[in-house]
Structure 1
Amino acid sequence: MTDPPASAGDVRGVRAAVLGTGLIGGSVLLRLRDADVEVTAWDPDPETRRLGRERGLHLVDSVEAAVAGCEVVFLCGPLPTLPGTLLRVAEATDDHCVLTDVGSTKGGLADFARAHGLAARFVPGHPMAGSDRAGLHSADAALFGGASWVLCPLGSAGLTTFRRLTRLIMSVFRARVVPMSADEHDAAAALASHVPHLLARALAGAVHRADLRDAVLTLAAGSFRDGTRVAATPSDRTANMLLGNRERVLDELGRVSDFLDELAGALRAGDRAALLALTEEAGAARAALTERSLRPQRREFPVHGAGERELAYLLGLGAAGGHLTGCRVEAGTVVYTAHVPDSAH
Structure 2
Amino acid sequence: MTGIERAAVVGTGLIGTSIALALREHGVEVFLTDPDTASLRLACDLGAGRPLDTEAPGRPADIAIVAAPPAVVPAVVRDAQHRGLAHVYTDAASVKDGVIAEAVRRGCDMSTFVPGHPMGGREKHGPSAARADLFLGRSWALCPTAKADPGAVATATALARMCGAEPVTLSAAAHDRAVALVSHAPHVTAAAVAARLLGGDDTALALAGQGVRDVTRVAGGDPALWVEILRNNPGPVAELLEEIADDLQGTADAMRGRAPDQVGAAAQERVRDLLDRGRRGHDRIPGKHGAQRTPAYTVVPVVIPDEPGALGRLFVAVGAAQVNIEDVRIDHSPGLPVGVAQLSVLPEAAAELSRTLAEGGWSVHA
Same fold (TM over 0.5): yes
Matched residue count: 281
Q: Please state how far the C-alpha of 1:217 moved relative to its aligned partner.
A: 1.7
Corresponding position of 2:212:
224
- In the alignment, the residues of structure 1 paired with residue 143 and residue 67 of structure 2 have an alpha-carbon distance, to the nearest angstrom, of 16
Corresponding position of 1:245:
233
Supply the AA of the counterpart residue of 2:237.
Answer: V
- In the alignment, the residues of structure 1 paired with residue 201 and residue 149 of structure 2 have an alpha-carbon distance, to the nearest angstrom, of 53
Matched, 1:161 2:152: yes
Assess, with a 3 A threshold, how the Cα gap between structure 1 residues 80 and 114 changes in structure 2: closer, same or farther: closer
Supply the AA of the counterpart residue of 2:45.
Answer: E
In the alignment, which of 274, 281, 287 is matched to residue 285 of structure 1?
Answer: 281
Matched, 1:275 2:271: yes
- In the alignment, the residues of structure 2 paired with residue 190 and residue 63 of structure 1 have an alpha-carbon distance, to the nearest angstrom, of 39
Residue range with higher mean Cα deviation, 241-250 or 265-274: 265-274
Assess, with a 3 A threshold, how the Cα gap between structure 1 residues 98 and 160 changes in structure 2: closer, same or farther: same
- In the alignment, the residues of structure 2 paired with residue 81 and residue 157 of structure 1 have an alpha-carbon distance, to the nearest angstrom, of 21
The structure, 1 or 2, with the larger RCO (C-alpha pairs under 8 Å, 6+ apart) is: 1
Q: Is the 8 A contact 2:144 2:171 kept in 1?
A: yes
Corresponding position of 2:18:
27
Q: Please state how far the C-alpha of 1:248 moved relative to its aligned partner.
A: 2.0
Corresponding position of 2:178:
188
- In the alignment, the residues of structure 2 paired with residue 53 and residue 279 of structure 1 have an alpha-carbon distance, to the nearest angstrom, of 48
Assess, with a 3 A threshold, how the Cα gap between structure 1 residues 148 and 260 changes in structure 2: closer, same or farther: same
Q: Where does 1:12-161 land on structure 2 (aligned, <5 Å)? A: 14-60=5-51, 62=53, 65=56, 68-93=59-84, 97-115=87-105, 116-155=107-146, 157-161=148-152
Secondary structure of 2:65's counterpart equals strand
Give deviations 1:306-339, integer Å, cap 9, x for gaps. Answer: xxxxxxxxxxxxxxxxxxxxxxxxxxxxxxxxxx
Give me the CA root mean square deviation: 2.2
Q: Please state how far the C-alpha of 1:259 moved relative to its aligned partner.
A: 1.9
Q: Is the 8 A contact 2:29 2:49 kept in 1?
A: no
Corresponding position of 2:355:
none
Corresponding position of 1:335:
none
- In the alignment, the residues of structure 1 paired with residue 55 and residue 233 of structure 2 have an alpha-carbon distance, to the nearest angstrom, of 30
- In the alignment, the residues of structure 1 paired with residue 159 and residue 8 of structure 2 have an alpha-carbon distance, to the nearest angstrom, of 13
Corresponding position of 2:192:
202
Q: Please report the TM-score for the alignment, with normalisation by the length of structure 2.
A: 0.71
Q: Is the 8 A contact 2:110 2:147 kept in 1?
A: no
Corresponding position of 1:179:
169
Q: Please state how far the C-alpha of 1:273 moved relative to its aligned partner.
A: 2.3
Q: Is the 8 A contact 1:31 1:142 kept in 2?
A: yes
Give deviations 1:46-72, integer Å, cap 9, x for gaps. Answer: 112222333344332539936952110
Q: Is the 8 A contact 1:60 1:66 kept in 2?
A: no
- In the alignment, the residues of structure 1 paired with residue 78 and residue 147 of structure 2 have an alpha-carbon distance, to the nearest angstrom, of 21
Give deviations 1:63-112, integer Å, cap 9, x for gaps. Answer: 99369521100000222221221111010117x71110001111111112
Q: Please state how far the C-alpha of 1:156 moved relative to its aligned partner.
A: 5.2
More helix by share: 1
Q: Is the 8 A contact 1:67 1:73 kept in 2?
A: no
- In the alignment, the residues of structure 2 paired with residue 66 and residue 20 of structure 1 have an alpha-carbon distance, to the nearest angstrom, of 16
Supply the AA of the counterpart residue of 1:36.
Answer: G
Give deviations 1:211-269, integer Å, cap 9, x for gaps. Answer: x3322321111121111111111111111111111222112111211222232233233
Secondary structure of 2:284's counterpart equals helix
Secondary structure of 1:71's counterpart equals strand
Q: Please report the TM-score for the alignment, with normalisation by the length of structure 1.
A: 0.76
Instruction: Identify unmatched segments of 5+ residues in structure 2.
Output: 258-263, 293-366
- In the alignment, the residues of structure 2 paired with residue 22 and residue 241 of structure 1 have an alpha-carbon distance, to the nearest angstrom, of 15
Supply the AA of the counterpart residue of 2:120.
Answer: A
Runs of 4+ aligned residues of structure 1 deviating over 4 Å after TM superposition are 291-294
Assess, with a 3 A threshold, how the Cα gap between structure 1 residues 233 and 150 changes in structure 2: closer, same or farther: same
Assess, with a 3 A threshold, how the Cα gap between structure 1 residues 266 and 290 changes in structure 2: closer, same or farther: farther
- In the alignment, the residues of structure 1 paired with residue 141 and residue 91 of structure 2 have an alpha-carbon distance, to the nearest angstrom, of 10
Supply the AA of the counterpart residue of 1:33.
Answer: R
Assess, with a 3 A threshold, how the Cα gap between structure 1 residues 266 and 18 changes in structure 2: closer, same or farther: same
Supply the AA of the counterpart residue of 2:272.
Answer: L
Q: Please state how far the C-alpha of 1:33 moved relative to its aligned partner.
A: 0.5
Q: Please state how far the C-alpha of 1:35 moved relative to its aligned partner.
A: 1.0
Instruction: Identify unmatched segments of 5+ residues in structure 1.
Output: 3-9, 295-345
Q: Is the 8 A contact 1:67 1:93 kept in 2?
A: no
Q: Please state how far the C-alpha of 1:132 moved relative to its aligned partner.
A: 0.7
- In the alignment, the residues of structure 2 paired with residue 81 and residue 206 of structure 1 have an alpha-carbon distance, to the nearest angstrom, of 33
Supply the AA of the counterpart residue of 1:235.
Answer: P
- Identity over aligned pairs, percent: 34
In the alignment, which of 262, 266, 282 is matched to residue 254 of structure 2?
Answer: 266
- In the alignment, the residues of structure 1 paired with residue 84 and residue 184 of structure 2 have an alpha-carbon distance, to the nearest angstrom, of 33
- In the alignment, the residues of structure 2 paired with residue 235 and residue 66 of structure 1 have an alpha-carbon distance, to the nearest angstrom, of 35
